Structure 1
């Protein structure tokens, strides 16, 4: 099943993608309501909306929002250690990682307040000159739980979607210098979509607990990177298990895979980042693609001018 949240009438509605059309539900349930009902009920809802939709709209003309427009939380994991090594190498640092990186899947809390749909324009973060994308896959929790073992954690995942993590690298450098984690470098938005693909649709790509989905990214029609979630240092089951320690995950929580190695401009940096001409500029287009999860296509536009602080920054 491929579920969307779409613009219909004066509000948002849930829809099921059937072939090249969206069958819209005839009630006000959110996608969190649908996925939290469980697999059997989801299938019943899907069958009902196939037979008796409120309306059917061609997929290409439908306005798609983030499948989960208001996630209870978003956590982004460092699931690919080669991405970290590549970023360190790009900045001229030693790519070797300390043992702690292999002990647990590191993650940070991201901002769920600014989410883009798969076709929305994306504004450059205010004040940024080094604007970047990051190619990821996100898992969405469907079953609540705490202190889950990896098998139960895998079973708690309702589905997956493409995830573009927009990053202002220059602002991120300032964040990291403060030593308290991600801040404005990651605050200007994330893209999820175009739809949520339910876990049963990709069950055949789950081998020994490891999900193997191929993904790719293009800038202005030129492929920048291609990779697979099968290369993650941690399985999604392990990641969700670790995240659930001592806390409660709820339906709609989003957990990112981390960036596919090579799946950002920083890893392709040549020379001084101040003079690197590869950073995203207004008019550029970025597309994420996966045979299993769909395709995003977004245009980069100018961002707002930042209001200066008393420090001048």
Structure 2
């Protein structure tokens, strides 16, 4: 299943949970009456994850989607959106809009404000290339355990959101994949981790390279060089959507591509990751309870940033640039750089 968070244009600021199907985006709260008589909470994607143990989580959402599909004759892939009101009236839910054309709502980051963001450093090619720029090899400790830093959960951006140019002369993107924790877990083993993954998202770990280099020169960070924004989206897909891409060792063969202003700048595969998501989550859960909605980032894939592909020389991102990060099966995460005074 492909889940999204969205806002309805012209209405409030409430983030609603949706399921993105070929027929459109199903408003799960609006359609919940097909399955449940009364919901104990508003249906945001975050609240779904928090209420999984109460029977109102992802499995319940799948039941609701199935009920909608059944009422539309078992599919609806060929729906024509000339008359959305007529389509929604087929669902007999008192005039409530249940299905939206994808371009009629504003997509948000699937988890608009996660409890935490842990971003790892798990692709060997990226680590090797960045270290080589300074005449260094990959440290042996990197092969002994995965390492991460904490991101800022209050500066999350969603798909098609503008990124206000931060105070940097070296703005960079970073193409990553992110896992969302779906159930509380602590001290788990890597082989158990997939049970605790709610889904996967595209992640852009924006970086101010000049600030990052200065702060890390004192042996601490990254911090302020990444503090201003992290993008996620356009959707969160459950692992059953990529079962056929599994390599059997915890890795998935998913193409990862970055484009700037329509020009391809990097291409790799999720299969290239050195540490699996299971290993990353197991390490993060050591002596700590991970909670639903927490995000685990993979770190930058090889060729997934300008620091790597331009050997640290730039040119860097500028106002007006459109950055698109795409991961097979998940979709395209697009953001535009805008001036601070716009």
TM-score by length of 1: 0.90
Contact 2:28–2:61, Cα closer than 8 Å, also in 1:
no
- What is the RMSD of the two structures over their aligned residues, measured on CA atoms? 1.9
Q: For each residue in 1:182-213, what CA deviation from the matched residue of structure 2 results, as whole angstroms up to 9, or x when unmatched?
A: 11100010110001001111122222222221
Q: Distance in 2 between matches of 1:67 and 1:39?
A: 13
2:154 maps to which of 86, 89, 113: 113
Cα drift, residue 108 of structure 1 = 0.6
* Contact 2:114–2:294 (8 Å) recurs in 1: yes
Matches within 5 A, 1:1-313: 1-8=1-8, 9-10=11-12, 11-19=14-22, 21-26=24-29, 28-36=42-50, 37=52, 40-48=59-67, 50=69, 54-89=97-132, 92-125=133-166, 127-208=167-248, 209-270=250-311, 273=313, 276=314, 278-303=315-340
Measured in 1, the distance between the counterparts of 2:153 and 2:316 equals: 24
Tell me how far apart the structure 2 counterparts of residues 222 and 103 of structure 1 sit (CA, whole Å): 37
- Aligned length in residues: 298
Contact 1:25 1:54 in 2 (8 A): no
- C-alpha offsets along residues 123-145 of structure 1, whole Å, 9 cap, x if unaligned? 122x2000000000001111111
Whole-angstrom distance in 2 between the partners of 1:107 and 1:20: 39
SS at match of 2:179: strand
Change (3 A) 1:84 1:145: same
CA distance, structure 1, for counterparts of residue 282 and residue 254 of structure 2: 20
TM-score normalised by structure 2 residue count:
0.82
Deviations 1:118-177 (A, max 9, x none): 11111122x200000000000111111100011111221111010011100011012202
Q: Secondary structure at the match of 2:15?
A: strand
- SS of alignment partner, residue 207 of structure 1: coil
Moved more, 35-44 or 176-185: 35-44
CA distance in 2, matches of 1:2, 1:192: 14
C-alpha distance in 2 between matches for 1:167 and 1:77: 14
Maintained 8 Å contact 1:227/1:261: yes
| Residues 193, 278 of structure 2: 8 Å contact kept | yes
Q: Which 5+ residue runs of structure 1 have no aligned equivalent?
A: 305-313
Q: Following the alignment from structure 1 to structure 2, what is the Cα–Cα distance between the partners of residues 61 and 178? A: 48
Give the distance between the partners of 1:39 and 1:217, measured in 2 at CA: 30
| Residues 42-73 of structure 1: per-residue CA shift (max 9 Å, x gap) | 42233245555743221123201100011111
Of 109-118 and 34-43, more deviation after overlay is shown by 34-43
Contact 1:218 1:286 in 2 (8 A): yes
**Are the equivalent residues in 2 in contact too, given 1:86–1:95 (CA < 8 A)?**
no
State the alpha-carbon separation in 1 of the partners of residues 285 and 68 from structure 2: 33
> How many Å apart are 1:270 and its aligned residue?
5.0
**Which whole-Å CA distance do the structure 2 matches of 1:129 and 1:20 have between them?**
43
